[in-house]
Amino acid sequence: MNKDKRTSLYDRHLALKAKMAPFADYLMPIQYSGIKREHNAVRKNAGLFDVSHMGEIYISGKNALKFVQRLTINDAAILEIGQAQYSAMCYDDGGIVDDLLVYRFKDYYMMVVNASNIIKDLDWLKNNLIEGVEIEDMSNRLSLIALQGPKSRELLIKSMSIDISNLTFYHFVEIENSGMSLVLARTGYTGELGFEIYGDNETIPHIWDKLMDSGKFFSLEPVGLAARDTLRTEMKYCLYGNDIDEKTNPIEAGLGWITKLDKGDFIGRDAITDSKNNLTRRLVCIELVDRVIPRQGYHIFKDGSKIGIVTSGTYSPSIGKGIGMAYINNPFTKSGTEIIVDIRGQQKLAVIVKPPFYKNGTALI
């Protein structure tokens, strides 16, 4: 365990008696008070996450936009300064290198990538580098926390004395707070109103303390990666390595809405176009009828024939059922279709349902 990295908030997690475990080369808090309590805090009040293990890559130079357009599937050209977008990078065959966020600053773009993919993503960017572009890995120099939940805006205003009432979804601001430089973005991975705060490794622990102190008046809970997983699953937010990877393409994964085939050429465009016209499976949401939980790798059947496989599964604290995501072969992907999930040799009935599982999220308020 000594080989694992520690975020700038490691000592805070120990003081809060968090259950720690290795994740993407870091020792990360898996849970504090319990998954259900932390999950419900985010849905009803507010939760604070340490997500400093994520990677941040700066892309600058006169051809930065051209490069980002070539490497990502969304249309970065529409971004104005202070905007962010969800996107992905793909290989030539349409397989997904990583899903990510792209932020547009005045003089550069920032990619926020998955922790387990930082080295791979950097290699991919460098291997496709063009003249007039510079890449800088900021992952070890920046920390990131996420404040999520319907009371997150009110808590931020009280804690940091800033006016963010007009900060809209997928926009961000650069601010100074008590002499500390921060980037405050209205994004998240929970389906609730929320904010992500970037700062250097010396700054973020002070911001964490301020939020935890003010959070006493808002029933704020520190939240670990376990509840982060249940929250994102309820919203059908993909997790790289589970629901998407180098063997899946954006269309079958339900990411057609961020795949801008008409923006011009980008890596993987031809293969993705072909897959769109020849789709054989689709990522769907499944809800178990019995009180059991589907897990990654469980096989799915229809009329005795195997038609799919579970990619993510959990117990949903919000709806009180076992839920999951699964790739299902056509033509069995329609909502309402009854299927069978093989759970350790037992045949359990499930139904394909429309996403998301949790429909009362506050992300857009």
Domain ranges within the chain, ordered by starting residue: 5-52+141-233, 55-137, 280-355
Question: How long, in residues, is the chain?
Answer: 365
Architecture of the domain made up of 55-137 = 2-Layer Sandwich (3.30)
- Interatomic CA distance for residues 15 and 104, integer angstroms: 36
Average pLDDT, the chain: 97
DSSP 153: H
pLDDT digit string, tens, across residues 283-326 = 999 999 999 999 999 999 999 999 999 999 999 999 999 999 99
How high is the pLDDT of residue 1? Answer: 39
Rounded to an integer, the average pLDDT of 239-245 is 98
| pLDDT range class, residue 269, cuts 50, 70, 90 | very high
How high is the pLDDT of residue 200? Answer: 97
| pLDDT range class, residue 54, cuts 50, 70, 90 | very high
Rounded to an integer, the average pLDDT of 167-186 is 94
The answer on pLDDT for 3 being more than 80 is: no
Q: Which CATH number fits domain 5-52+141-233: 3.30.1360.120, 1.10.10.10, 3.40.50.300, 3.30.565.10?
A: 3.30.1360.120
Rounded to an integer, the average pLDDT of 41-49 is 98
Question: Does the predicted model carry a pTM greater than 0.95?
Answer: yes
CATH superfamily name and code, 280-355: Aminomethyltransferase beta-barrel domains (2.40.30.110)
Report whether 249 contacts 73 (CB < 8 A).
Answer: no
| pLDDT range class, residue 178, cuts 50, 70, 90 | confident
Helix (H) and strand (E) counts for the chain? 8, 20
Tokens of 227: 């509840």
Cα three-residue angle 135-136-142, rounded to 5 degrees: 145
